[in-house]
């Protein structure tokens, strides 16, 4: 199977998690960071399309966690994070640390039995670049392989085709990089 019909959000979640791992985060940390990037992108798009209204000026989400959040930048997004006894976690709803297990279940549900097939070319692509290079180009790479969906509200939540071969073709070989 070289193509998968899928929504963009799980593709972004998986790619961002793969990138985070390549940048040195542990897998559980990377999973929560991946979901946070995808969630922020979805919120931005929802605002742009008018699917969601902007928050009232001065309105802030109440944080229930007593831990002071920090930030991690991934794919151009500044993500709120907290340090937990099990490692770094993105901060989800209500200011609580996200669950890597929940992200794994989400990815398994969305990709089904082809999750490993999708992850493999993404990992190969991410590992083809130095950490510094990847940090700079990760989102641009995503834009080259993400599923194509109709523009505007018609494409909101729509599935498109993820071509795993196209991801593989983006991976530079040693000869190409000289």
- Residue 40's pLDDT is what? 80
- Residue 55's pLDDT is what? 57
Tell me the whole-structure pTM to 2 decimals: 0.82
Decide: 57 and 17 in contact? Cβ < 8 Å: no
Strands 159-163 and 87-90 come out as unpaired
How many other C-beta atoms can be found within 10 angstroms of the C-beta atom of residue 48? 10
- Residue 175's pLDDT is what? 40
- What value, to the nearest 5°, has the Cα angle with vertex 19 and ends 152 and 106? 65
- Residue 35's pLDDT is what? 94
Per-residue tens of pLDDT for the chain, all 178 residues: 589 999 999 999 999 999 999 999 999 999 999 999 998 876 665 445 455 566 566 555 544 444 456 899 999 999 999 999 999 999 976 788 999 999 999 999 999 999 999 999 999 999 999 999 999 999 999 999 999 876 655 556 778 999 999 999 999 874 444 3
Determine the Cα–Cα distance for residues 93 and 62; give it in Å rounded to an integer. 9
- Residue 1's pLDDT is what? 58
Determine the Cα–Cα distance for residues 33 and 12; give it in Å rounded to an integer. 11
How many other C-beta atoms can be found within 10 angstroms of the C-beta atom of residue 29? 23
Determine the Cα–Cα distance for residues 141 and 28; give it in Å rounded to an integer. 23
- Residue 39's pLDDT is what? 85
Token pair 């700079």: residue: 136
């Amino acid at each position: 199977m070289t193509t998968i019909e899928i929504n963009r959000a799980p593709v972004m979640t998986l790619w961002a998690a793969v990138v985070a791992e390549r940048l040195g985060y542990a897998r559980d940390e990377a999973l929560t960071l991946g979901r946070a990037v995808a969630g922020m992108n979805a919120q931005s798009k929802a605002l742009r399309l008018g699917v969601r209204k902007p928050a009232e000026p001065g309105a802030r989400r109440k944080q229930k966690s007593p831990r002071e959040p920090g930030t991690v930048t991934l794919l151009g997004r500044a993500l709120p994070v907290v340090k937990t006894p099990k490692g770094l976690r993105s901060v989800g709803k209500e200011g609580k640390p996200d669950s890597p297990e929940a992200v794994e279940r989400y990815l398994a549900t969305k990709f089904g039995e082809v999750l490993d097939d999708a992850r493999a070319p993404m990992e190969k692509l991410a590992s083809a670049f130095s950490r510094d290079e990847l940090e700079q180009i990760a989102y641009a790479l995503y834009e080259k392989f993400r599923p194509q969906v109709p523009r505007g509200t018609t494409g909101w939540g729509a599935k498109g085709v993820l071509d795993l071969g196209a991801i593989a073709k983006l991976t530079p070989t040693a000869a190409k990089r000289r």
